[in-house]
Structure 1
Amino acid sequence: MKLIKNVDIVTRDEVLHDHEIYIEDGIIKEIAKKINKPDAEVVDGQGGILMPGFIDVHSDYIEQLAAPRVTSVMDFNLALYEFERELVTHGITTMYHSISFLKDTGKKALRQPKNVRKMIELIDQSHKQLHLVHHRFHLRLELDNMDVVDDVVEYIQKGQVHLLSFMDHTPGQGQYRDLEIYKKSYLNDEGMSEEQVQTQIKNLMNKEKLTLDKIQVIANYAKEKNIPIASHDDDSIEKLEIIKSFNATISEFPITMEVLKEAHEQGFMTVVGAPNILLGGSHAGNLSAKEAIESGCADILCSDYYPASLLHAIYRMADSGQELHEMVKKVTYNPAQAVGIEAEVGSIEVGKKADMLIVMRLPDKFPAITHVFVEGVQVSNMNYRV
């Protein structure tokens, strides 16, 4: 039994000032101005803001911990163990690890099929052993990766996939419709010469891709298992129509404002990147996440490659005029709804799991997380000192 006092509580619709919340057996039992539970353990929030734990539906940051260098592949158990401790400090209580299958991985060792399998099994096992946060697997299927279809179907049928996205990073469209930006990315990240990049672009643009029929087969397997489906880097209204036929309900990183608004109008849950807000724009020259949110058509913020960005992005936007509770929904209730777990988590409501965090503002105005609770268990406590 736990009683949290002296906090402002962020709900789906408003901020409840100076309220208390009572937790029993990991479940929220009562929310009120004053709660009389003399036997409960008391947590003093010291005037901080209590909000739901963050749900991150798209992050490939685990790659940096599992394989930080081309020749440095760490123990995956260690990587996952250290990553969840980091996730807690950033308020992320449910993480959808976004891992791609690629034969030609460049420096991304984790994307090799054998390593993907190993990581999937670790994520699956994490639910059954000591852990801090909820780990989930977001399978990112590149459409030119013809050799892993049987593996994908196997993972889906075994219940190891919690979110499936179809991705196409072919240069000249989608995220890399600007070939000059694509060239710079490869020149910087892969250390290629201009000639090597040109050859790479030619090879990628001519690669065979999964047919629409094959994509539909995979999508049908996912539908049978109630696995949500996302599309990635939608750059045209025509593409939205195609992915809708595959039962996709999530549009990740629409490339333009026109496509974002159309996706929103058609009922897709739209995802934009929190790092985009902190950087002041897209690193690939595409849609501004800030403008997307201000348009009212961006539903979800994800950390993409920088877990710390979620907290800072919601406060950056709140400080610029957005309602705090609406921004919090973009990293809690909305992503929970998009992946079908909103009945259990994603908002502070009686009957839901007590996945929550307390946030205070430091003198320099940076938001800081002081407490994190997962199913009512306090998994982190950070005490700032003078």
Structure 2
Amino acid sequence: MRTQTMSDRVEIIENASLVLPDRVETGWLAVVDGRIAEIGEGRAPERGLDLSGDHLIPGLVELHTDHLESHYAPRPGVRWHPLGAVLAYDAQIAASGITTVFDSLRAGTDPDGSGLGSELMLLARTIADAREADLFRAEHRTHLRCEIPSGDVVETVRSFVERFPVGLISLMDHTPGQRQFRDVSKYYLYAGRSGRPIEEIKAGTERKIREGRALNAVNRPALVALARGHGIPLASHDDTTLADVAMSRAEDVALAEFPTTPEAARASHEAGITVMMGAPNLIRGGSHSGNVAAQALAEAGLLRILSSDYVPASLLMAAFQLPERVPGIRLPEAIATITANPAHATGLDDRGRIAPGLRADLVRVRMAQGVPVVRQVWRAGERVV
């Protein structure tokens, strides 16, 4: 939960390595009423919190993290206390330097029975209650991950947007044989982690392929219409072919989540669709599904946003590794992939940069053996970590 004592409200931060939009400089920063009031180079006009040369960066903005569901459903068939799960997740998010998070909630029941089903509404209600009670460290918004080849996805999303605010909708199709799982054998390996017998997985795969195309033809346009009707930005998940990108362009998609091929990434970029890749992909040196590497897209000048995907701490690590891995990318540009760029892509132009007038979402980072370590975090000028 957020700290409320006046002693934890930062006013002046000095002796910091400020990561500004266009440069890194040693200087100081003043905060008034939760916003950045002034920035200066060199010695501060008065004493404040001495960062001893540590980096000061904007608070991270996370658009796609699957981590909430792993707190709520830590094992197959196990459900944790919803408020306990939400608060544990929030603490991990904030400790990773993330001050704005789009909670990725999966809408649509998979034919094999996976997915949140009606529990989606339970988690959404729990998040809303925790926000109302001011229990969160980070600011929480909602990203609905819509499984297109699902019989109940359209009605679920329609019901959800009538009850809760939604900041982003992604169009996802995990039908084996296309997009992320073009290689069906890799889908078998992925699905096998559930512990189900391979015969059951193969039978379910045949059913998914058979039914997926028909459901996609009906559900995708319905979801696009819903998003447009409520003014919600759209993301397309795992675009692979030029035809996929052409469809996304026709639907006014704003964000390309994890394109799986270089040609899809380039076509998205040229169409004005912002390309986002997973930070774990960058850190591990490639995709766990055998798709295009995030580093290759960064080297080609196509990567604009990083997402932590399934490891919240990967966001900061990947941004600090980018300048080392890709010549020509400086630290301010790398930090923008986890701050200014995702904020701008979702219309949150009051944050994501260290600049006067913006919200004082700030993270103190110390390097330890080449690893960026979060030491302190402030949201709107109040310390939360």
TM-score (norm 1): 0.91
Aligned to 1:174: 179
Q: Does 1:69 align with 2:69?
A: no
Q: How does 1:10-21 map to 2 (within 5 A)?
A: 10-15=19-24, 17-21=25-29
| Separation (CA, whole Å) in 2 of partners of 1:169 and 1:263 | 20
Match of 1:336 in 2: 343
Pick which of 142-151 and 50-59 moved more.
142-151
Which deviates more, 348-357 or 202-211? 202-211
1:276 is matched with 281
**Secondary structure of the equivalent of 2:31?**
strand
Aligned partner of 1:31 in structure 2 is 39
Query: Structure 1: which 5+ runs fail to align?
Result: 381-386
Worse-matched range after superposition: 219-228 or 259-268: 219-228
Aligned partner of residue 373 in structure 1, secondary structure: strand
Pairwise CA RMSD = 1.8
Shift of 1:49: 0.8
- Which deviations, in whole Å up to 9, do the C-alpha atoms of 1:181-206 show, x marking residues without a partner? 1111122x122333222212101101
* Amino acid in structure 2 at the alignment position of 1:13: D
In structure 2, give the amino acid aligned to 1:257: P
Q: Does 1:104 pair with 2:113?
A: no
How far off is 1:113 after superposition? 2.0
Equivalent in the alignment of 2:95: 89
Pairs within 5 Å for 1:220-299: 220-299=225-304
Match of residue 193, structure 1, among 191, 194, 197: 197
The question of whether the paired residues in 1 share the 8 Å contact of 2:111 and 2:150 is answered with no
Which amino acid is the alignment partner of residue 94 of structure 2? V
What secondary structure does 1:23 align onto? strand
What letter is aligned with 2:17? D
Secondary structure class of the residue paired with 1:231: strand
Deviations 1:94-144 (A, max 9, x none): 111112124237685xx3221111111222333322221111111011111
**Counterpart-to-counterpart distance in 1, 2:111 and 2:374:** 36
| Structure 1 counterpart SS, 2:342 | helix
> Aligned-pair distance for 1:155?
2.2
Note if contact 1:223-1:247 (Cα within 8 Å) is conserved in structure 2: no
Paired letter, 1:59? T
Contact 1:107 1:190 in 2 (8 A): no
Q: Per-residue CA shift, 1:71-109, capped at 9, x if unaligned?
A: 32001100111111111211111111112124237685x
Which residue of 1 is the match for residue 123 of structure 2? Answer: 119
CA contact (8 A) 1:58 1:138 kept: yes
Q: What fraction of aligned residue pairs are identical, expressed as a percent? A: 31
Cα distance in structure 1, aligned partners of 2:102 and 2:352: 14
Q: Following the alignment from structure 2 to structure 1, what is the Cα–Cα distance between the partners of residues 379 and 163?
A: 26
Q: Look up the equivalent residue of 1:332 and give its one-letter code.
A: T
Match of 1:4 among 3, 13, 18: 13
Give the drift of 1:214: 4.7
Cα shift at 1:37: 5.2
In structure 1, what is the Cα distance between the partners aligned to 2:77 and 2:198? 24
Task: Please give the alpha-carbon distance, in whole angstroms, between the structure 2 residues aligned to 1:319 and 1:257.
Answer: 22
How far residue 157 of structure 1 moved from its aligned partner, in angstroms, is 3.6
Bigger Cα displacement from structure 2, 267-276 vs 118-127: 118-127
Could you say which residue in structure 1 is the equivalent of 2:4? Answer: none
Tell me, yes or no, if the aligned pair for 1:249 and 1:268 is still in contact at 8 Å: yes
Alignment: residue pair count: 371
What 5-or-longer segments of structure 2 have no aligned partner? 1-9
When structure 1 is superposed on structure 2, of 243-252 and 300-309 the one drifting more is: 243-252
TM-score, scaled relative to structure 2: 0.92
1:43 equivalent in alignment to 2:49: yes
